[in-house]
Amino acid sequence: MARGIRRFLSVALKVLALMLALVLMIVVIRTVTFPSYQTSPPECKVTDPDFIPADEERLARFTSAIQFQTVSYERGVGTPQELAKFVHFIQKSFPTVHGSPMVRRDVVGNYSLLYRVEGSDASLQPYMLASHLDVVPITEEANWEAPPFSGQVKDGYIYGRGTIDTKHTLMGSLEALEFLLSSGHQPKRTLYLAFGHDEETHGVFGAKVISKVLQQRGEEIVFILDEGTMVVDDFFPGVSKPVALVSVSEKGSLHVKLKVQAEGGHGSMPTKESAIGILARAAKKLEDNPHPNMFGTGPEARMLEYVATEMTLPYRMLSSNLWLFSPLVGWLLSQTPQGNAYARTTTALTRFTAGNKDNVISPEAEAIVDHRIHPMQTAEEVLEFDRKVINDARVVLDVKDSSSVFPPSPISPHGKDSPTYAVLQKTIQQIFPDALVTPTFMVANTDTRHYWNLSSAIYRFSPSAMSVADLKRIHGVNERISIKAYEKVINFYYHLISNMDEPLDVKHHGHTDGL
């Protein structure tokens, strides 16, 4: 009997050792042979003579744009007078764009702008560059190094709300178009510029209406480029080069309203539990029980695979073997707020409302939870998960409103077989020759959710470089962009518009990516 067990154990150990050796062999082979998704940068770089300098005039136009306080507060609550002034300023600042017979400009939904620049070849499908006119409100004004609507230049940086979200892309694309049209150039392919005025409050009066207008015109857009992820200097341990993150998809959204109604009364004679206490416990449970780590089940894995061959050995091994190491990489990512946003559906408690008097027990309390849904999850699954975690019938969970719930976006074509991704990659490499380029998804949302019906190739990329630490300036304190970075923004659009004069085809570089 004992001999039988010994024999069984010995065989089992041998099988285990064999399996381990096999796994190790696969890991090593994949690490060594993993395909490179990177191509060498094209010849033409930003130092070419046909380069638009951010001279005094262009800089002055940009800093003036920052001075318009085009704040969106809530759905339908914004700053109409500031928007009207900003729209007028744009018209005055780009006389060639606004005077050209090739350009049709429509004001949509009172303040949003839609430009159509007629291409010389009507057989080519148009493309569209999108941005937005509005900005989020100011927080912690006292902590800003320069007043938030000043556009002040300090140590080579322009400070102000909107400098990176996203008046830089709005003004940069207009500067590029103004330059091109002033030099007598007519693009071959028709180009739209679309600037919504309420992106920061769901875009229902701006981008949604622009989308309807384009749909009524029967437009099919070959690709759309909106604000989005950017070139990140310190992307991931083991990658020394900057990485240009092109978002080919976007997380879904679900804002959940939690509501508790309980007995109110005199503050001197409290019952055991209050609406505030019940709601606070429920909210804390949600914070303490995050949604499952789903790294590796969606398009986020591509983000690391595309740069795997450029990583130092240990990280290269992990990224080229996500079939095995996804749980470990997912855990590593979840250690920072930015990485965690790629790994799972996030849960943010953003509002908590209750009570209006120091000595009155509030009979009700409400909170809002802002979920951004991982591409492999649905809003229904997220709501169900929350209900189970809270497990308290006194807490009523509801979708806040219809505009705050939408699924993860479709995934746009990417990789070397996608001509639209390829033209973006080429343009990025012209402006950021050191950067690696990789697809990813957006962890925040953009106006593009209103454009899904117009194009199957929607990209979200802001052509400026920053460190991961600088990401908190977006919607935060001391939002800023360097003059050099703004210059690159202008030249990115200039090169992109020029590149779009060439036929959209695929250059066969590197290896097949199998996508």
Ligand X SMILES: CCCCCCCC/C=C\CCCCCCCC(=O)N[C@@H](Cc1ccccc1)C(=O)O
The site for ligand X (CB under 6 A) is made up of 165, 200-202, 227, 229, 232, 235-236, 245, 253, 333, 338-339, 342, 443-446, 468, 471, 474
When the beta carbons of 200 and 386 are compared against ligand X, the nearer one is: 200
**Using CB atoms within 10 A of its CB, is residue 123 exposed (0-12), middle (13-18) or buried (19+)?**
exposed
Site for Zn ion in 211-250 (CB under 5 A): 227
Q: What is the closest distance, in whole angstroms, from the C-beta atom of residue 132 to Zn ion in the complex?
A: 6
From candidates 82, 134, 165, 479, binder to Zn ion by CB under 5 A:
165
When the beta carbons of 422 and 443 are compared against ligand X, the nearer one is: 443
Residue 471 backbone phi and psi in degrees, to 5? -60, -30
Altogether, the residues listed in the chain come to a count of 515
Query: From CA 302, how far away is CA 439, in angstroms rounded?
Result: 7
Strand-pair category, 346-354 with 364-373: antiparallel
CB environment 275-308: b (16+ within 10 A), e (fewer): bbbbbbebbeebeeebbbbbbbbbbbbbbbbbbb
When the beta carbons of 83 and 103 are compared against ligand X, the nearer one is: 83
Number of residues that bind Zn ion (CB under 5 A): 3
Residue 339 site contact among ligand X, Zn ion, none (CB < 5 to 8 Å, cut-off depends on kind): ligand X
Residue 326 site contact among Zn ion, ligand X, none (CB < 5 to 8 Å, cut-off depends on kind): none
Strand-pair category, 364-373 with 458-466: unpaired
Cβ-based neighbour number of residue 186 at 10 Å: 14
* 227 annotated ligand-binding residue: yes
* 470 annotated ligand-binding residue: no
Cα 267–chain centre separation: 46
Q: Which of 134, 175, 250, 487 is catalytic?
A: 134
134 is an interface residue for Zn ion by CB under 5 A: no
Tokens of 483: 């003059």
Q: What is the closest distance, in whole angstroms, from the C-beta atom of residue 199 to Zn ion in the complex?
A: 5
Residue 34 site contact among ligand X, Zn ion, none (CB < 5 to 8 Å, cut-off depends on kind): none
Specify whether the CB–CB gap between 363 and 264 falls below 8 A: yes
Query: From CA 444, how far away is CA 439, in angstroms rounded?
Result: 15
- Catalytic residue flag (residue 447): no
Give the nearest residue (CB) to ligand X.
444
* 509 annotated ligand-binding residue: no
When the beta carbons of 297 and 498 are compared against ligand X, the nearer one is: 297
482 is an interface residue for Zn ion by CB under 5 A: no
Tokens of 507: 């250059």
Q: What is the closest distance, in whole angstroms, from the C-beta atom of residue 203 to Zn ion in the complex?
A: 10
Query: From CA 181, how far away is CA 195, in angstroms rounded?
Result: 19
Residue 177 site contact among Zn ion, ligand X, none (CB < 5 to 8 Å, cut-off depends on kind): none
Strand-pair category, 153-154 with 157-159: antiparallel
Q: Give me the helix-helix angle, 419-431 and 483-499, nearest 10°.
A: 140
Q: Which of 82, 175, 199, 226 is catalytic?
A: 199
Cα 131–chain centre separation: 12
Specify whether the CB–CB gap between 464 and 242 falls below 8 A: no
Q: What is the closest distance, in whole angstroms, from the C-beta atom of residue 462 to ligand X in the complex?
A: 7
- Catalytic residue flag (residue 134): yes
166 is an interface residue for Zn ion by CB under 5 A: yes
Specify whether the CB–CB gap between 301 and 375 falls below 8 A: no
Site for Zn ion in 383-402 (CB under 5 A): none
Q: What is the closest distance, in whole angstroms, from the C-beta atom of residue 87 to Zn ion in the complex?
A: 18
Q: What is the closest distance, in whole angstroms, from the C-beta atom of residue 164 to ligand X in the complex?
A: 8
- Active centre residues (catalytic): 134, 199
- Known binding-site residue numbers: 132, 165, 200, 227, 475
Binding residues for Zn(2+): 132, 165, 200, 227, 475
Q: Which residues bind Zn ion (CB under 5 A)?
A: 165-166, 227
